């Protein structure tokens, strides 16, 4: 009989309950007991929603990040927090965000937060494990054991979920340049303790996540996998090694022959892996197939899945398990919450709860035959057919515009050096010009006005007046601080992607479609369901108003086509590159309208360029070719005197720096503060041709950087980048911070820039 299981469930709650439990706790407004109670309530509810599964995940819930959880489970704490001996939860949040709940006031110091980067090619951020050659490990199984006990009390057949040892090592950073694999033996000893401890508590199966197996592995890392699981095979639990996000390809034989009880593969991302894998899989081993897309929200073609799954079920019998392709962390919780979503588009979708329902339909069909689910299959086929035939999906005019794209649309009129001279004469900026990335705090007043406007209790004129007042406040604060290039603060924007999607044809929006980005930060990706066009200008009036309040340059702020694509739930009926070109044309129209309105500095954020990179290097160039082309189409229709900025955050850029240079933005701002400027190592070997602003203020922590620290970081940058091409800026937008944090941090940033100018 086919086993049905899940790799992980969204932890934030259908109404973002986790967010609203964490943030008051961090502010000292609620107690530790309140937070723990909220976590237990969420776990209980989520296990109830998974009640139909044969095995449900346990340990997938986290108060911040599952990789950070693993660091604490194996006792790998950064040295800077090892002397804190109070509440372990406080120490956990020190690593996550630089402060514990006991240190919530900006005046109370804090420590450097752990570096944060993207989880493979998703928009989820994890806290990077830190290693040195002196790193030791020590087991703390309390979190997992407590959750296993909770699950058992609620009748859950628990399958603990942990990050695998090889992936954990690979995701971490050796702070002293040592070889991470030298730590493998010590790490495996703790993993073995953990697995035997779980076995002693009656656990039968443990899911060990090793998504590293879908990447290209050199001989050392291939050996590490074999070595690790041969060391762990004596443990008294059954291991299900889970891979996802891509194809195993040349790692099929390695994965199939690890000495474990089962293997999970992503049959959505890697359908061509399945048959060859079965041919090399030992006959005693379970094969779990991820047959429902865990990363997107479209209904599955259940009939098509059954067509290829039924013969495998007959061949494998009870060795076949089925599941989503990956953890459902990457999709919203429940479509039933969406009462306001367009009914037609809603009928095409499946969120986490509905994906588990789809799994149950597949399982029942495999166990009892298709006749047992005939009605469900008929409904599914009808929804799929309606989506394919809908005139809302296809726009011939957009298709024609994309077909007429040509190379000249992606080229500036003159090379950078010529443009830079013209821009310098026009803008008259000092050395080390200061700016911010775009957004300022989303205050209670902003949120209240937005809610009242949506509810109909505030009319359009009242809403516009409220937003104008917030914009004016942002401009006043920036002028008082002495920033050189200003922004309007984005008070009117709910989200940097959703705001634009709401004004583009071809997008739909959920009300409760939240997914976790990191910690308490949630995003609500728009749903790209059809061909994209821009019916009217989206930002011009707000930017024009902001510019009228100041004599300093005002940046026009846009989100780039690649980021809008990568941070949306994207249609799956055409190549992503086609959708990206459609978006590029829409943003290009907006750029040209801003320029026509007199805006001389325009920032087009491509924060998600790196995360869209395929996991295998062999596929990188194809993606980079169309992604860079899309940015250039969006940005490069302007005159030489218009300065184009772009921004990228929290990714490893060193391996794609040539493609970033090929975007030909006049100025790029990037995250470097958490990595202590390590991201600029790329410039030791690559002479970046244009201007760059290495972020010196980590906005994802409440810590306020000192003037001295910023000066130190910029001096490191000046060792690699000529001073005349350096900007000083935060590493990301400031919407998640509070004004009482932002003002002193920016004051220190401006003071640092002035000190640097005097020393230049």
What's the mean pLDDT in 315-319?
A: 94
What pLDDT is attached to residue 106?
47
What's the mean pLDDT in 551-576?
A: 96
Specify the CATH architecture of the domain 429-443+480-759. Alpha-Beta Barrel (3.20)
What pLDDT is attached to residue 237?
97
244, 216, 231, 221: which is closest to 170 by C-alpha? 221
Q: What pTM, to 2 d.p., does this model score? A: 0.90
| 3-class SS letters over 124-190 | CEEECCEECCCCCCCCCCHHHHHHHHHHHHCCCCEEEEEECHHHHHHHCEECCCCCHHHHHHHHHHH
C-alpha 62/C-alpha 286 separation (Å) is 28
User: In sequence order, what E strands does 301-410 have?
Assistant: 320-324
* Residue 118 assigned ligand-binding role: yes
- Confidence grade of residue 681 (pLDDT, cut at 50, 70, 90): confident
- Confidence grade of residue 109 (pLDDT, cut at 50, 70, 90): low
| CA separation, residue 481 to residues 207, 405, 488 (Å) | 52, 44, 15
C-alpha 669/C-alpha 697 separation (Å) is 12
C-alpha 62/C-alpha 10 separation (Å) is 10
Pairing of strands 116-118, 125-127: antiparallel
589, 528, 518: which is closest to 564 by C-alpha? 528
Rg (CA), the chain: 26
What pLDDT is attached to residue 107?
46
- Beta-bridge mates of residue 376: none
* Residue 18 assigned ligand-binding role: yes
Percent of the chain with pLDDT over 70: 98
What pLDDT is attached to residue 657?
86
What's the mean pLDDT in 727-746?
A: 94
* Residue 647 assigned ligand-binding role: yes
pLDDT in tens, 115-148: 998 899 999 999 999 999 999 999 999 999 999 9
C-alpha 592/C-alpha 676 separation (Å) is 37
Handedness of CA 93, 98, 100, 106 (dihedral sign): negative
What's the mean pLDDT in 273-288?
A: 94
Whether 650 has a pLDDT exceeding 80, the answer reads: no
* Residue 16 assigned ligand-binding role: yes
* Residue 626 assigned ligand-binding role: no
* Higher per-residue confidence, 93 vs 494: 93
CATH 3.20.20.210 maps onto the chain at 3-78+114-389, 429-443+480-759
* Residue 657 assigned ligand-binding role: no
Percent of the chain with pLDDT over 90: 88
What pLDDT is attached to residue 454?
87
- Confidence grade of residue 459 (pLDDT, cut at 50, 70, 90): very high
What's the mean pLDDT in 162-188?
A: 97
Residue 734's contacts (CB-CB under 8 Å, 6 or more residues apart) are: 436, 437, 439, 440, 441, 699, 742
Phi, psi of 430 (to 5 degrees): -80, 175
* Residue 656 assigned ligand-binding role: no
Average pLDDT, the chain: 94
Asked if 606 and 560 count as a contact pair (C-beta separation under 8 A), the reply is yes
Asked if 111 and 534 count as a contact pair (C-beta separation under 8 A), the reply is no
CA terminus-to-terminus distance, the chain: 73
Whether 476 has a pLDDT exceeding 70, the answer reads: yes
* Residue 236 assigned ligand-binding role: no
DSSP element (H, E) containing 535: none
pLDDT in tens, 357-384: 999 999 999 999 999 999 999 999 999 9
**DSSP 8-state assignment for residue 704:** P
DSSP element (H, E) containing 308: helix 302-316
pLDDT in tens, 384-439: 999 999 999 999 999 999 999 999 999 999 999 999 999 999 999 999 999 999 99
* Residue 27 assigned ligand-binding role: no
What pLDDT is attached to residue 670?
85
Active-site pick, 5, 66, 330, 700: 700
What pLDDT is attached to residue 728?
97
Active site residue 700: yes
Whether 110 has a pLDDT exceeding 90, the answer reads: no
DSSP element (H, E) containing 8: none
C-alpha 512/C-alpha 516 separation (Å) is 12
What pLDDT is attached to residue 674?
67
C-alpha 206/C-alpha 241 separation (Å) is 8
92, 169, 90: which is closest to 129 by C-alpha? 169
- Beta-bridge mates of residue 604: 558
What pLDDT is attached to residue 757?
97
- Confidence grade of residue 40 (pLDDT, cut at 50, 70, 90): very high
What's the mean pLDDT in 328-337?
A: 97
What pLDDT is attached to residue 4?
98
- Confidence grade of residue 22 (pLDDT, cut at 50, 70, 90): very high
What pLDDT is attached to residue 100?
81
What is the fold of 3-78+114-389? Answer: TIM Barrel (3.20.20)
Handedness of CA 586, 524, 452, 486 (dihedral sign): negative
What pLDDT is attached to residue 749?
96
C-alpha 609/C-alpha 632 separation (Å) is 13
């Amino acid at each position: 009989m086919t086993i049905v299981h899940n790799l992980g469930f969204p932890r934030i709650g259908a109404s973002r309950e986790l967010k609203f439990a964490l943030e008051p706790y961090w502010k000292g407004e609620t107690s530790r007991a309140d937070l723990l109670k909220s976590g237990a309530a969420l776990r209980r509810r989520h296990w109830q929603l998974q009640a139909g599964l044969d095995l449900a995940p346990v340990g997938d819930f986290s108060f911040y990040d599952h990789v950070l959880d693993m660091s604490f489970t194996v006792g790998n704490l950064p040295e800077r927090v090892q002397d804190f001996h109070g509440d372990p939860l406080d120490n956990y949040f020190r690593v996550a965000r630089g402060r514990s709940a006991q240190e919530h006031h900006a005046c109370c110091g804090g420590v450097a937060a752990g570096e944060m980067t993207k989880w493979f090619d998703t928009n989820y951020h994890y806290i990077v494990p830190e290693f040195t050659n002196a790193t030791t490990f020590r087991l703390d199984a309390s979190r997992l054991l407590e959750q296993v006990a909770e699950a058992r009390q609620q009748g859950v057949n628990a399958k603990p979920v942990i990050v695998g040892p090889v992936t954990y090592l690979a995701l971490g950073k050796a702070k002293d340049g040592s070889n991470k694999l030298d730590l493998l033996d010590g790490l495996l000893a703790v993993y073995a303790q953990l697995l035997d401890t779980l076995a002693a508590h009656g656990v039968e199966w443990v899911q060990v996540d090793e998504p590293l197996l879908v990447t290209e592995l050199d001989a050392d890392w291939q050996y590490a996998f074999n070595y690790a699981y041969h060391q762990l095979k004596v443990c008294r639990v059954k291991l299900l090694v889970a891979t996802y996000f891509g194809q195993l390809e040349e790692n099929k034989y390695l994965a199939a022959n690890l000495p474990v009880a089962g293997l999970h593969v992503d049959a959505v991302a890697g359908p061509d892996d399945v048959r060859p894998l079965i041919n090399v899989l030992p006959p005693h081993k379970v094969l779990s197939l991820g047959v429902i897309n865990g990363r997107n929200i479209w209904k599955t073609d259940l009939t098509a899945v059954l067509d290829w799954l039924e013969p495998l079920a007959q061949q494998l019998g009870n060795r076949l398990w089925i599941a989503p392709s990956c953890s459902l962390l990457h999709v919203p919780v429940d479509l039933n919450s969406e009462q306001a979503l367009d009914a037609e588009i809603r009928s095409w979708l499946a969120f986490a709860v509905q994906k588990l329902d789809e799994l149950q339909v597949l399982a029942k069909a495999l166990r009892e035959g298709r006749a047992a689910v005939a009605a469900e299959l008929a409904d599914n086929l009808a929804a799929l057919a309606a989506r394919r035939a809908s005139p809302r999906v296809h726009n011939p005019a957009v298709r024609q515009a994309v077909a007429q794209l040509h190379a000249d649309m992606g080229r500036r009129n003159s090379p950078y050096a010529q443009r830079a001279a013209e821009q310098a004469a026009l803008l008259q900026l000092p050395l080390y010009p200061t700016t911010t990335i775009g957004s300022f705090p989303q205050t209670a007043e902003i949120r209240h006005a937005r809610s009242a406007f949506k509810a109909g209790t505030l009319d359009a004129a009242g809403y516009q007046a409220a937003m104008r007042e917030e914009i004016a406040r942002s401009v006043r604060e920036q002028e008082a601080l002495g920033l050189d290039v200003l922004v309007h603060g984005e008070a009117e924007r709910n989200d940097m992607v959703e705001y634009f999607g709401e004004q583009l044809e071809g997008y739909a929006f959920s009300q409760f479609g939240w997914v976790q980005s990191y910690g308490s930060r949630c995003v609500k990706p728009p749903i790209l369901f059809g061909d994209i066009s821009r019916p009217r200008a989206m930002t011009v009036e707000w930017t024009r108003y902001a510019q009228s309040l100041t004599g300093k340059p005002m940046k026009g702020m846009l989100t780039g086509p690649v980021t809008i694509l990568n941070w949306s739930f994207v249609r799956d009926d055409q190549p992503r590159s086609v959708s990206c070109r459609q978006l590029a044309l829409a943003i290009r129209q907006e750029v040209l309208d801003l320029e026509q309105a007199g805006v001389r500095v325009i920032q087009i954020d491509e924060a998600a360029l790196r995360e869209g990179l395929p996991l295998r290097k062999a596929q990188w160039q194809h993606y980079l070719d169309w992604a860079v082309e899309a940015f250039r189409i969006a940005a490069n229709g302007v005159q030489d005197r218009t300065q184009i900025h772009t921004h990228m955050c929290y990714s490893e850029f060193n391996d794609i720096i040539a493609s970033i240079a090929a975007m030909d933005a006049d100025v790029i701002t990037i995250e470097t503060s958490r990595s202590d400027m390590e991201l600029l190592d790329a410039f030791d070997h690559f002479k970046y041709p244009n201007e760059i602003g290495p972020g010196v203020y980590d906005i994802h922590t409440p810590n306020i950087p000192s003037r001295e620290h910023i000066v130190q970081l910029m001096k490191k940058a000046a060792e690699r980048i000529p001073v005349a091409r350096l900007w000083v800026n935060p590493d990301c937008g400031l919407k998640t911070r509070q004004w009482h944090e932002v003002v002193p941090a920016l004051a220190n940033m401006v003071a640092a820039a002035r000190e640097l100018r005097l020393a230049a």
